[in-house]
């Protein structure tokens, strides 16, 4: 580390060098647990190992609130069967989007109600 042998993307395996892509996925997931969701998504673009770790349920479950299953049920409405098929990353994305409140979006109610 710091000796100039690592590349920016960590993908120089052909030349015999090691890089970021050589880290175990569990180590990368441990790093991602300490980051914010936008930072996780940016690091997922580095290499395959980071992308795989960033899709891990372990990483995204730590970012979900304790009552996320209740919130997921509210967001999906009556048909909650789709929630069982979603990954934790998909659930996080679903809960972060604007969800309808009484048939309209909350922002619309505030401005136009």
Using DSSP's 3-state secondary structure scheme, residue 101 falls into: strand
The residue assigned the tokens 């441990």 is: 30
pLDDT in tens, the chain (113 residues): 344 444 444 444 556 788 877 888 889 899 999 999 999 999 999 888 889 999 999 999 999 999 998 888 888 876 666 657 899 999 999 888 876 666 665 544 444 44
Using DSSP's 3-state secondary structure scheme, residue 1 falls into: coil
- Please tell me the pTM assigned to this model: 0.65
How far, CA to CA in Å, does 69 sit from each of 10, 77, 99?
38, 12, 15
Is 94 within 8 Å of 72 (Cβ atoms)? yes
Q: Give residue-wise pLDDT tens across range 43-72.
A: 999 888 889 999 999 999 999 999 998 888
């Amino acid at each position: 580390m710091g000796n100039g042998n690592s590349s920016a993307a960590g993908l120089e395996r052909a030349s015999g060098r090691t890089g970021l892509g050589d880290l175990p996925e569990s180590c990368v997931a441990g790093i991602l647990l300490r980051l914010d969701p936008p930072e996780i998504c940016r690091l997922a673009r580095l290499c395959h190992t980071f992308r795989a770790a960033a899709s891990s349920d372990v990483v995204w479950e730590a970012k979900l609130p304790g009552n996320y299953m209740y919130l997921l049920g509210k967001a999906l409405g009556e048909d909650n069967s789709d929630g069982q098929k979603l990954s934790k990353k998909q659930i996080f994305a679903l809960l972060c989007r604007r969800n309808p409140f009484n048939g309209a979006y909350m922002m619309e109610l505030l401005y136009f109600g």
